Structure 1
């Protein structure tokens, strides 16, 4: 098969191996403009809405069926394209209501009825909502009132022939636009009444299929080392056979490694987990290829395609509804040493990042412990003066556990790993797991060893010329729900924000600057610096 056939139905993209610059500046930011402008990357912030809680609602009985209702979907083709906007018209409604809404569901055979047992399955996630729940979560949804002509019934229809020139049954219609991407499974649209809080099912559309369910799509590039001479390209396809990426002016080719995961790879307990049962969606096949011999600050074009349940986790919990990191590790491949060894290091500018897995064996003399000890000890601080350590479960948080939710801090993890942080003079420790933001003093063994001072802008500044201990920051403020702080404040806790947001920063060899940005308002909620004289 020649090259042209190999790249039939390919996707063509461009990437730039250089810093991106943005035009908008956060008014409350004190960071370097390249860092402050990064707010443009975070427009789609996370927030709780009635729709996001839809599968925690009871499905009530609807009024008697209306035989006049129709749902028509207008696509650019007889079958759905890889990406397009379709117009969905709902007609035959005699009495428009502000509570009418349309949902897009895939796969088309998904059950959108009420599922009384789902509540027990969701209990694994810490969600103990009232039963029953919707069996399947819609991909997208919108109120019919989003069409301004719907409630006033400006688009009228007559479904019963007129008598004496007067229509016997006038109905109303609404037309909404939905952005569709290739899910590789058929799609249907469902009409509901009762809003997102008390939904009931009225009608469903015919089944819609994609033109090419196996198309190679959703290319993602990521760095694999600190040299900027190689990049990993990952994409998803419905085809399990290896594919290729072609790049550069000389048309170099790399063949993909293919991986996927199944329902059997999801975690379980006594009951099937949501990820294994009603929350499952076929992921397709994830392709990954490494483009090598790249030159930094050079623009390349590339095109791609062609015409493990034993997770080793030290915590026996069906994390994330049973996903246990399997989809994440498969979709977003990191520069790790092997399968199910998700620890690695990478250097960016003046920072050495040591990334570990708190879910794998971290005890003294374990493979991961030996790796992190050797990695941090080998850092050349004259080249990368800053050392940042990161993992999932924190060492310090003000959020306590309960009878239902286990504590977030594992004392055995702290006892084994925290001495390494002090020994190697780690500057900053970043963790997630807890869904809020919290920053500590320079801390070791649950005691403040040093406090920041205020710079001329009133920003907390940690002086690591006189190093005492690392500071810790929990940055889990993008979780599904936020964890609220209690009135009890630990002496080592200097800043606490329970709002959705993200952390951004800027680094030189003498200074690290970070800001916690509120995703709703784009305002800076907390700032801190770390300073240190450059090593000659």
Structure 2
């Protein structure tokens, strides 16, 4: 479900130092076509005009209050004209963004991971009256990496509280079979009931899977972000149609997952984006430079590409069948395909632990 927030903007027409690049398709509110004179001089000429416009924003539940701020002067010399009162969500503890992953090659167990503002364990209920309690984890600003040499948005201005990440195992399943589930609790609410399909067991014949990397995300409104991949919306739409038609057994997203790169709230937007896919089939991932790399953290490449995340949000949101924390490599079989997932951000030389 797409949530739309309408914001009405009223501004006084005066001269401000605003640095901008004019585009051919400026939003209507910039044209200031609806004006009203608020003050006339002694000659009857208008001295002060006001103009009004409206904007629509796509908002999702990020568990914290939000505000809309109308300003001029650009980002270097901003001047706030007006701001809304804080807007809060009805249920910041609501269980959201559930996504599935495989834990082995049997197709008889799946892991479900979701986000909530509530630290208490919740549960997943699935076919034939089965249920499992969730394990709860999170990460803090202290877990982000920083350096005196480089900026670290994740530890500074890009930090956003991730809430609590819940994870539970669905067991006693059958491979290549459709099931249903819901997750949450009576106290914080429940997700809708979702249909999903287990992947085929290793050694069986046919597998239909999608594989891609570097997808990222894009806003569903006219907002600007520090890292936008416009094609992600059409990619998601095309894949959702394939999943809905039953043509997909599993998905492999190989590196550069959300491109949050230290702006933590963007993980919520990414999880919301992939939910129509990842809640219905196994969504397997591999770590990339934009999730892991940062100076003095043990990554192979000494770059600031993760924005100070150092792999922590990625591994918390996407628990894969890896040997240990910060060892994000694994292998798994589905049908006749053997997948070996490596991390090029960790030592993969001949004598490394990963190569062995």
Interval containing the TM-score (normalised by the shorter chain): 0.5 to 0.7
Q: 2:14, 2:73 → 1: CA distance? A: 13
2:31 alignment counterpart:
151
Alignment partners' CA distance in 1, 2:9 and 2:177:
50
Whether 1:242 and 2:161 are equivalent positions in the alignment is no
Once the two structures are superposed, residues 157-189 of structure 1 have per-residue CA deviations (whole angstroms, 9 ceiling, x without a partner) of 454599999987442101111111111121111
Equivalent residue, structure 1, for 2:313: 327
* Equivalent residue, structure 1, for 2:231: none
Aligned to 2:139: 261
Pair 1:208 & 2:87 matched: yes
> Residue 328 of structure 1: SS of its match in structure 2?
helix
**Is structure 2 residue 68 aligned with structure 1 residue 189?**
yes
User: Could you say if the C-alpha distance between residues 187 and 144 of structure 1 is closer, same or farther in structure 2, counting changes exceeding 3 Å?
Assistant: farther
1:190-211 CA distances to partner (integer Å, 9 max, x unpaired)?
Answer: 1132567x66333242222222
Determine the C-alpha separation between the residues in 1 that align with 2:342 and 2:116: 30
Q: Give me the whole-angstrom Cα distance separating, in 2, the residues matched to 1:268 and 1:168.
A: 51
Structure 1 residue runs without a partner (length 5+): 1-81, 102-141, 371-536
Larger Rg computed on CA atoms: 1
Runs (5+) with no aligned partner, structure 2: 188-295
Distance 1:92 1:363, change over 3 A: closer
Residues 328 and 92 from structure 1, CA distance in 2 versus in 1: closer, same or farther, beyond 3 angstroms?
Answer: same
In structure 2, the partner of 1:340 is: 326
Q: Secondary structure at the match of 1:320?
A: coil
Is 1:90 aligned to 2:9, yes or no? yes
**Cα distance in 2 between the residues matched to 1:295 and 1:88:** 49
Contact 1:230–1:293 (Cα < 8 Å) also in 2: yes
Give 1:253-292 correspondences, 5 Å limit. Answer: 253-270=131-148, 273-292=152-171
| 1:219 CA drift (Å) | 1.1
Q: Distance in 2 between matches of 1:225 and 1:311?
A: 29
Indicate conservation of the 8 Å contact 1:86/1:178, yes or no: yes
Instruction: Give 1:246 shift.
Output: 0.6
1:221 aligns with 2:100: yes
Q: Following TM superposition, by how much is the alpha carbon of 1:226 offset from its aligned partner in structure 2, in angstroms?
A: 2.9
Q: What number of residue pairs does the alignment pair up?
A: 243
In the superposition, the TM-score normalised over structure 1's length comes to 0.39
What corresponds to 2:111 in structure 1? Answer: 232
Q: CA deviation at 1:261?
A: 1.0
Name 2:182's counterpart in structure 1.
Answer: 303
SS in 2 for 1:236: strand
Q: CA 1:266–1:317 in structure 2 vs 1: closer, same or farther (change >3 Å)? A: farther
Counterparts in 2 of 1:254 and 1:169: CA distance versus 1, 3 Å: same
